[in-house]
Amino acid sequence: MTDHFGDARLEEMKFLTELDRSGLTLTLEPGRKRDMVFSLVYQRFVSGSNLEWTAPAGPRWVSRPGESELELRVQQCWVNSLSDVLSRVPVHLELTHLGRVRLSELRQALRAGKIREPFGILWDGRHLEIDLQIAILDATGSAPLSVGFLDMNELKIINDSVGHEAGSTALRAYFHAVATGLAGSGEAYRDGGDEVIAVLPSRGAEEAKRTLRKVCLLLMQEDLRFEGFRRVSLSVGVATTIDPTTQFAVLRERAERAMYRAKAETRKSMPSPSAIAAEQGEASIITLDTPEA
């Protein structure tokens, strides 16, 4: 891990999540990461010393609290952990039970207080970065994370030729199709204009494409009946990771590049069909005749 910090709670959650997977052995130089780790050890969320204990024979009580051999050993382990963090020597750190409680609290706190975009249908894009980074931390070979980058075809033409009220109607239909198609599978964020990012935990590329194909069909079934436009369509790109260290911006950019491959295919026909492209393979064209997979 580097000493680059963003949101302090998110950085703490990333560190605790990594510890929860397998523990860490690292050497800490002075800086914000060492300050964070020292604080976590001080609060007993993290431990660097394993306590081995065999109960002594005889009575297990003492005259005053804090004088038992066990309490003294626990305290010494705690002090040793704090010392090791500051000593610039390799130290192995493990998550404690209190740390797992803290990790759960951080996840809840970081996802609390979210707001919707102006239509009140999808999540506001300001929450995307943190929510996607949380989802990336859970990505594994058995539970891949897929991200969909969705863009509505010909919105500018609708706005310019029919008017912005018609464009807003099309956007509402689009967002409702996304919300309906993703229900129970993931969450979607309006990332400005008509760009939508869909976060699909525990979904590989093919499963994500099936879900997003359903979104495309739901929207294309909407009979909007604008002048010159009866239906609208989507271009969709899909990127997938099983690596919990994947960078948020990199995964988003991979999905966006795939979306532009899909959009290139939609421009070959009029009216534009929908299309989905993963990072590998050809883009799939979707029309109303396309069966739901």
Q: Which option is the CATH number for 138-286: 3.20.20.20, 3.40.50.10800, 3.30.70.270, 3.40.50.720?
A: 3.30.70.270
- Of 183, 26, 13, 224, residue with least CA distance to 99: 13
Strand partners for 47: 94
Q: What are the per-10-residue average pLDDT scores of the chain (293 residues)?
A: 66 94 90 94 88 64 64 85 90 94 94 92 96 95 97 84 83 96 96 94 96 96 76 94 96 97 91 92 85 55
> Whole-model pTM?
0.84
Q: Phi and psi of 6, rounded to 5°? A: -110, -125
Convert the pLDDT of each residue in 194-251 to its tens digit: 999 999 999 999 999 999 999 999 999 988 877 666 788 999 999 999 999 999 999 9
Convert the pLDDT of each residue in 119-141 to its tens digit: 999 999 999 999 999 999 999 99
Give the residue extent of every domain in the chain: 8-108, 138-286
**Separation between Cα atoms, residue 111 and residue 107, nearest integer Å:** 6
Environment class of residue 101 by beta-carbon count within 10 Å: exposed (0-12), middle (13-18) or buried (19+)?
exposed
**Which two three-digit tokens encode residue 11?**
């950085």
Q: What is the pLDDT of residue 5?
A: 56
**Separation between Cα atoms, residue 178 and residue 215, nearest integer Å:** 5
